[in-house]
A and B are shown apart, each in its own frame.
Chain A
Amino acid sequence: MTQLALVIDLNVCVGCHACVTSCKQWNTSGAAGPLFDDRPYGENPTGTFFNRVQTYEIGQFPNTETLHFPKSCLHCEDPPCVPVCPTGASYKRAEDGIVLVDYDKCIGCKYCSWACPYGAREFDEQQKVMKKCTLCVDRIYDETLPEAERKPACVLACPTSARLFGDVHDSESEVSVAIRENGGYPLMPEWGTKPSNHYLPRRKTRHKIHKDELLRVDNPLKKEDIRHEIRDNVSLDDWLM
C-alpha cells in the first residue's frame, strides 16, 4: 500500500519560507483553492496557509541553536481528524494515503482541527470550510506536467532541497532511504497517529586537528631562515683548548 509523504531535512532548512508561499500560490489558484486572506492590507492580516515555518531557539548563549521548522499536514496513517468528522468530509485515500477534505461535504464544525494534535488544519473564514495540505494532489498525478514536476509545489520550490517527497512504504524510495540512513523521525509518536511525514535531524560536521599536523617538515617558514654573515664573529674555535 502506498503512503505518500514529505520528509523534511532540518539539517539544511534555512527558514526561507519558500515552501510557505509557493504552496499558497499553487493551491490558491488550484483544485484546493482559493485560499482566503483577511485584512490583506490592514491591521493584523491573516489568511489560509497549508504550510507554515516556525522558528525555535534551543540552548543558551553562546551555545544557541536556531531551528527552522516547516509544518504542514502530516498525512497520518491513523489520522484522528477523520473519525471525528460528522459528514465524512475529512477522509484518507486508500490508494496513496493522502488525507483530504471534501469541501462540498464540510459543514465547518472544526471537530477535525480540534482533533489534530499538530495544528495542521486551516479554517477558511470566507468559505466556512476546513482546508489543509493536499500534497498537491492536483500536480502529482497530472500527466500533462513533465514527470520531474509531478511533485508538490513546496518540494519544487525549496532552494535547499530540504523537502523530499515519495512513498514511505516503499523501502527503496528516496524518502525511506533518507529516513533510514539519517535518523528520520515522526512528530509526537506517543499520540499513536503514525504521521507519514518525517523530519531529518541536524547533523554536525567537526574537524579534529592533530597537533602533529600543525608543523610539517615542508613548513614554508623554513625557507625564510636568514643566513647571517659569520666570518668576523668570534667562535668557540678561538677558545677551546
Chain B
Amino acid sequence: MHEAAKALAEGRTEVKNTTCYMCACRCGIRVHLRNGEVRYIQGNPEHPLNKGVICAKGSSGIMKQYSPARLTRPLRRKEGSERGEAQYEAISWDEAFNILEERLGRIRATDPKRFALFTGRDQMQALTGLFAKNFGTPNYAAHGGFCSVNMAAGMIYTIGGSFWEFGGPDLERSRLFVMIGTAEDHHSNPMKIELSKFKRNGGRFISINPVRTGYSAIADEWIPIKPGTDGALLLALIHEIIKTGLYDRDFLTQYSNSAELVNMDPNSSEFGMFVRTEVPEEEGCFDPQNKLWWDRNGNKPVICRAKGADPRLLGEFALSDGTPVKPAFQLLLERVEDYTPEWAADITGIPAVTIRRLAHEMGIVARDERIELPIAWTDVWDQEHQSVTGNPVSFHAMRGLAAHSNGFQTIRALSILMSILGTIDRPGGFRHKAPFPRPIPPCTKTGTGPQDVQPNTPLNGMPLGWPADPDDLFVDDDGNPIRIDKGFSWEYPLSVHGLMHNAITNAWRQDPYAIDTLFIFMANMAWNSSMNTDEVRKMLNDKDESGEYKIPFLVVADAFQSEMTAFADLILPDTTYLERHDVMSMLDRPISEFDGPVDSVRIPVVPPKGECKPFQEVLIELGSRLKLPPFVNADGTRKYQNYPDFITNFETAPGSGIGFLAGWRGKSGEKSMKGEPNPNQWKMYEKNNCVYHYHLPRSYQYMRNWNQGYLQWAQEHSLTRYDEPINIHIYSEVLQKFRLAAQGKSDGKQPPAHLRKRVETHFDPLPFYSEPLEAQLTDKQRYPLNAITQRPMAMYHSWDSQNAWLRQIHTYNFLYVHPTTARAAGIEDGAWMWVESMHGKVRCLCRYTEALEPGTVWTWNAVGKAAGAWNLDGSANESKQGFLLNHLISEELPASAAGAHLSNSDPVTGQAGWYDVMVRIYPAAPGEVRETFPQYPTMPPLPGTPKRRRWQSYFAGRFGKNS
C-alpha cells in the first residue's frame, strides 16, 4: 500500500458539487478531484433526492468520463463514403456551424418543417423545444413517445398528475405498496431508499410482474402476470372493490366526477357528455362547476357540490325534460360488470382467488388503516378541514404498463383504481410534485393546421401539447398529419410526447412528406432506441433514383461514438455531465419533492475534453446565427454570451420574472419561483449543493387538486393559470369528444373514414380491456410466447457498455426462458437458440429461470451492441454473445382496415408497443456459428476517439504503465 498512500498524500484534492447523469434520476453528487482528475464520486448527503446514497452507475461515472468512446472533435463524413461505414474527417467548429447555418437558414426561409429535431433522454426539453418552436418546425419531440408517454397521458388525463417526476407513492406513510411491471430505471435511488424504509417499517410490498427480478426480488408477494394483460387485472380489481363496497365514497363524490350526471340520450348530440346547468362565465382549461348531481335527499337534480346535497353514485334518472341520465360511477359499475375476477384469471394467468384477495386487501387497508394528520386546510369550495386524511395504499408503475398498445386504457384503469381507493394526493397514497397537479388536460396546445407553420416565423403553438378536443389536433383540412411523426393526428390524437420511433421510417418513406435535415441529439436510433433496428439502419442509408439520400442530411450530436454516429453526415461532440452546465428546470421536468418544488443544476467539475462543446452552447450559437427571436436582440445581434448567461437572463416573456431556474431570483437572490434575473444565481446554486428546494407550508402539501391555499399559491407563482379545482376524471369527457367526432356526431374536425372505427373504439370514456394490437394481428399458434425486456439496475439503456466497470457486471445477455417452455422446444440451459417473431429473428443464448411466467421470455435491455460500437473491440462479448430484442419488434403494425403503415403504438397516445411482440423459440442447429445473429461489420474508431486501453490500473486519473 505504501506507494499508493504516498501518491495520495502528494495529491492536491478538492471536492465539487454537481448533479449525476449516469441515468435520468438526477442525484446530487460530490466529485472528489485529485490534481484535477476524478478520484471519487460520492452521493451528496445534503441532497433531497438521494440523501447521500449513490447507485452502481453513479459510482462508475469515472469510467464514463475516461471512456474510449468519447467523441472529441466535430466530424464530417468523408466524401465518397457511405453512411454506416463510419468514415470521417475532423473539421473545425466554425466549419460545422457554417454548414448548419447555411443549410438550416435555407430550410427556415422556405419550409421550416423540412427540419426535424428529435432528442433522446436529454433533460433539456425546455431549451430544445424553444429552439424548435422558434425555428418554426412542428417536427420536434424527445424520447417520451417510445418511453412512457402512456403513463404520463393516462394518469394526467385522469388525475392531473403521474408517477416519477410528476408524483409518486408516499411510502413513508403507506401500509400496502403494489408495484406493477418493470419500473427499476425511473426514480431509482429515491425508490430504493423509500422501499427499504417501507419494508423496515412493516409495510407490505406486492409486486405484479411476469419476471421476478429487480425490486420484485424483495417483495413480500410476487404475483406473476402475462404481459399486456394488466388492464384486465386492474378492471377486475375495480369490479371487486365496487361490488364489495370497499371504495371511498366521500372522496369520490367530492373530488371526482363520479356523481356527475351523464346524458344518456343516444339521439342527442350531447350523448355521453355531462349535463350542464349553465354556460360558464369564463372559458379556460379548467372544469367549470356547472354539472349536475342527483340529490338523494330531495330525489332531484341539483348543481354539483351544492351545500347539503348528498348525491347518488348509482342509479338511472330522468331530468324534467325527459333526458335520461346516469351518474358517471353507475357507468363505471356497468363497465366493470363483466370484468369479474374469473374473467381476468383466464387472461392474466392470475387465479381468481388471488385477484379477489388482492382487491379485498387493498380495500380493507385503505378503509381501516386510515391516516389522520393534524393539518388544517381549506378546500376550493371554502370548506375548512381540521385534518388531512389518507388511505395508505400506494402504487408504482412505469414502462411495464406503458409500453403496450393498450397501455393508455390500462393506466386509466390504474388511475381509477387509485381514485376509488381514495388515495390521490393524500398521505400514504399517491402524492403530486410541483408543478403538478395540472388541469385535465394541461393548457399547452400545439398548432392546429398548416397555417401554423410559416417560413422565417416561429411555430404558432408549441411543438407538443395536450389536446382537449378534436379541434386541437394538428392536421390539415383533410385530417392529414402536419408532423413527420404524425403526432396529434387522428392516428394518435393524444401523442403528447410525439412519436420519435416513427420519425425515421416516415421521413424515409416521405410520408406525409419529405424532409431535408434530421437532427438527432443523444438518441441511439440506429440501435436500441429504434424498433425494427435492421431496417431502420437500411433506411438511414437508402437513396432515391438520383442517388440522393432519402433523408438528405443527418446530424448527430452526442458525447459518445455509438451505432447512431456511424450514420451521421455531421457529428457534433457533446460534453459529459461532469464538464457542463445544465438545469433541471421547473419549465421542464424538475426534481420536485412531495413537500414542494425543487430544481437543480449541473456545474462543470472538469474542463471539456478536446473540442467537446455542450449541446446547449450549440443551440444558442445556432439560434443566434439563425436569428431566432429568443436568442437575438431587436437589432438582430446575439443576445446571450453563452448558456449560463442564457439561463440567468432568459425570461418566458419580457419582465415575466419566470426563467429556467426558480431559486435565488430577484436582483440579489431574495426571491424565489418568480423574480427578476439575478446575475449571481449560478453562484448561489453552487453554494447550495446545486439544488433549490421550496418548502410549501404543511397545509399546502396535500389534496392539492382542491386545496385553495395551494392553488392560489400556484397561481400567484405562475405555476398554473387558474386556481380552479382539478377534479378526477373517472369518466373522461375528453375521450368522449373524440368518440363523438369519430361517430360523426360533432361539428368540429372529423377523422378520415378509415380511422373512424379505430378512434371510436379506443376513445372510450371509461377504461376497457383489449388485447394489444400486435397480438390481435399475430398468428398465436405460430408465435405463442410474449417477449419483453427488463432494466438492469447497473446500466442505463445503451449508455454503459463503454464503461469498463459496469460492463464487467453485464457483459452480455441471455434470453431467459422457463425450463418447461425451453425443454418443450428442445433448448438446453446455456445453449444457442433462435427467438423469432413475425418480423425477424435473433440467435442468442438461453438461460433457464424459475422466476418467470412460463408463457414469457425476457432479456436485459440494450446490453447487446453492434461490433465496434461504443469503441469496444470488435471481439467484445456485447456483439458476439449479446443481442438486441429490437430486431424482433416492428415500428409499424401489419396492414389492417385502419391503414397500411400505422405505428406499432397505442392508438390513443402513440406510445411505442415495445412489450407487445409475440415470439416462438427453437434450438440453433448443431453446426451453426456460435455467435449472435444478426452481425454487422465492425465499426472503426473515429478520428479523435481515445485509444482503447488493453488493461488499466486506474488511480485518480492515471491508468498504469500503458497510458
Contacts and interface: CB of A to CB of B under 8 A. Distances in A.
A21 B875 contact: no
22 contacts: A14-B214, A14-B218, A24-B805, A26-B40, A29-B34, A30-B4, A33-B4, A36-B951, A43-B880, A45-B807, A47-B804, A61-B850, A66-B216, A126-B951, A157-B59, A159-B54, A205-B199, A209-B360, A213-B368, A220-B245, A224-B312, A226-B315
Contact of A156 (B4, B34, B53, B215): B53
Nearest to B9: A31
B298 interface: no
Given A25-B40, A209-B360, A213-B368, A43 B877 contact: yes
Given A34-B4, A215-B245, A66 B851 contact: yes
Interface of A: 11-18, 20-22, 24-26, 28-47, 49, 57, 59-62, 64-68, 102-104, 124, 126-127, 138, 148-149, 153, 156-162, 202, 204-207, 209, 213-216, 219-224, 226
A160 B195 CA distance: 7
A61 B217 contact: no
B757 interface: no
Given A12-B199, A20-B794, A159-B54, 15 more contacts: A12-B195, A14-B192, A14-B217, A14-B218, A16-B192, A16-B793, A29-B39, A31-B1, A41-B871, A43-B873, A57-B849, A64-B222, A68-B217, A149-B45, A159-B193
B951 A38 contact: yes
Contact of B42 (A38, A47, A156, A159): A156
Interface in B803-836: 804-809, 811, 818
Given A14-B217, A64-B850, A126-B960, A157 B43 contact: yes
B189 interface: yes
Interface in B164-186: 176
B951 A39 contact: yes
Contacts of A103: 1-2
A127 B3 CA distance: 12
B204 A205 contact: yes
A220 B364 contact: no
Nearest to A12: B196
Enumerate the 10 nearest inter-chain pairs by beta-carbon distance, A residue then B residue, closest first: A40-B804, A220-B249, A160-B196, A159-B192, A17-B56, A34-B953, A219-B245, A221-B245, A22-B59, A21-B59
Interface string B234-253: 00000000001111010000
Contacts of B939: none
Dominant SS among interface residues on chain A: loop
Given A40-B949, A103-B1, A156-B52, A209 B361 contact: yes
Contacts of A149: 42, 45
Contacts, number: 256
B203 interface: yes
A160 B220 CA distance: 16
A138 B831 CA distance: 45
B199 A40 contact: no
B655 to A, nearest CB: 43
Contacts of A65: 212, 217
B67 to A, nearest CB: 9
Interface of B: 1-2, 4-5, 8, 34, 39-43, 45, 50, 52-60, 62, 68, 176, 188-189, 192-193, 195-196, 199-200, 202-205, 212-218, 220, 222, 224, 244-247, 249, 296, 310, 312-315, 357, 360-361, 364-365, 367-368, 793-794, 802, 804-809, 811, 818, 849-854, 871-873, 875-877, 880, 948-956, 960
Given A16-B794, A41-B871, A67-B217, A24 B204 contact: no
Most buried by A among B8, B54, B215, B244: B54
Contacts of A32: 1, 4
A66 B214 CA distance: 9
Contact of A25 (B41, B55, B199, B809): B41
Most buried by A among B68, B192, B200, B364: B192
B43 A60 contact: no
Contact of A220 (B2, B59, B247, B315): B247
A46 B807 CA distance: 9
A31 to B, nearest CB: 5
Most buried by A among B246, B247, B807, B853: B246
A69 to B, nearest CB: 11
Most buried by A among B59, B245, B854: B59
Contacts of A216: 367
Contacts of B956: 29
A214 B53 contact: no
Contact of A60 (B804, B807, B850): B850
Contact of A31 (B8, B45, B217, B951): B8
A157 to B, nearest CB: 5
B54 A42 contact: no
Contacts of A157: 43, 53-55, 59
A35 B364 contact: no
Given A31-B4, A64-B222, A209 B875 contact: no
B809 A205 contact: no
A67 B203 CA distance: 20
Contacts of A22: 54, 56, 59
Contact of B953 (A31, A36, A207): A36
A23 B199 CA distance: 26
Given A15-B793, A21-B60, A213-B364, A43 B876 contact: yes
A60 B819 CA distance: 10
Contact of A126 (B8, B42, B314, B953): B953
A34 B314 CA distance: 71
Nearest to A49: B808
